Structure 1
Amino acid sequence: MSESQTVMEKIYKKLDEITHQLNKENGQSFIENLGLAMEQMYTKNRELIEQATLQDRRKAFQFAYLSQLQKEEVQANHQITPDSIGLILGYLISQFESENQAFHIADLGGGSGHLSATIHEVMSDKTMMHHLVEVDPVLSRLSVHLANFLEIPFDVYPQDALMPLPFEEADVTIGDLPIGYYPVDERSHQMKLGFEEGHSYAHHLFIEQAITALKPSGYAFLVVPTQLFEDEKVKQLENFIATETEMQAFLNLPKNLFKNERAQKSLLILQKKEQGVTRPVEVLLANIPDLKQPQNFQNFLSELQNWMNQNHPKK
Structure 2
Amino acid sequence: MAEEKTIMERLFQELDSKTKALNEENGQSFIENLGLAMEDIYQNNRELLEQATLADRRKAFQFAYLSLMQQQEIQANHQITPDSIGLILGYLVERFTEGKKELNIVDLTSGSGHLSATVHEVLKDQTLMHHLVEVDPVLSRVSVHLANFLEIPFDVYPQDAIMPLPFEEADVVIGDLPVGYYPVDDRSHEMKLGFEEGHSYAHYLLIEQAVEALRGSGYAFLVVPSNIFEGENVKQLEKFIATDTEMQAFLNLPKTLFKSENSRKSILILQKKERDVTLSVEVLLANIPDFKDPQQFQKFMGELNEWLQQNHHKN
Band of TM-score, shorter chain: over 0.9
Q: Which amino acid letter does the alignment assign opposite residue 66 of structure 1?
A: L
Cα distance in 2, alignment partners of residues 19 and 131 from structure 1: 27
Q: Give the TM-score, by structure 2 length.
A: 0.98
Residue identity in the other structure for 1:216: G
**Aligned residues of 2:246 and 2:278 also touching (Cα < 8 A):** yes
Aligned letter for 1:183? P
Output one character per residue of 1:46-68: Cα deviation in whole Å (capped at 9) or x when no partner: 00000000000000000000000
Contiguous gaps of at least 5 residues in structure 1:
none
Q: Which amino acid aligns with 2:234?
A: V
Equivalence for 2:101: 101
- Partner of residue 84, structure 2: 84
Large movers: runs of 4+ above 6 Å: none
Pair 1:254 & 2:254 matched: yes
- State TM-score, norm by structure 1: 0.98
- Asked if residue 203 in structure 1 is aligned to residue 208 in structure 2, the reply is no
SS at match of 1:178: coil
- Per the alignment, residue 284 of structure 1 pairs with 284
Rate the CA distance shift 1:7–1:166 in 2: closer, same or farther, 3 A. same
SS at match of 1:36: helix
Amino acid at match of 2:84: S
| Residues 220-272 of structure 1 deviation map (CA, whole Å, 9 limit, x = unaligned) | 00000000001111000000000000000000001111111111000000000
2:168 and 2:212 in contact (8 A); partners too: no
Q: Name the aligned partner's letter for residue 151 of structure 1.
A: E
What SS does the aligned partner of 2:166 have? coil
1:45 corresponds to which letter in structure 2?
N
Name the structure 2 match of 1:222.
Answer: 222
Q: CA deviation at 1:125?
A: 1.1
Q: What's 1:54 paired with?
A: 54
Larger CA deviation: 166-175 vs 45-54? 166-175
Tell me the distance in 2 between the aligned counterparts of 1:167 and 1:155: 11
Find the aligned partners of 1:305 and 1:159 in 2 and give their Cα distance.
37
Letter in 2 for 1:191: M
Q: Distance in 1 between matches of 2:178 and 2:190?
A: 20
Aligned to 2:184: 184
Partner Cα separation in structure 1 for residue 143 and residue 168 of structure 2: 21
**1: CA distance between counterparts of 2:265 and 2:41?**
35
- Give the paired residue count: 314
- Which residue of the partner structure matches residue 300 of structure 1? 300
Hey, what does 1:238 align to over in structure 2? Answer: 238
Structure 2 gap ranges (5+): none
Match of 2:139 in 1: 139
**Tell me, what secondary structure is at the counterpart of 2:222?**
strand
> Following TM superposition, by how much is the alpha carbon of 1:2 offset from its aligned partner in structure 2, in angstroms?
9.3
Aligned partner of 1:239: which letter? K
- Secondary structure of 2:91's match? helix
3-state SS of paired residue (2:152): coil
* Cα RMSD, aligned residues only: 1.1
Amino acid at match of 1:114: H
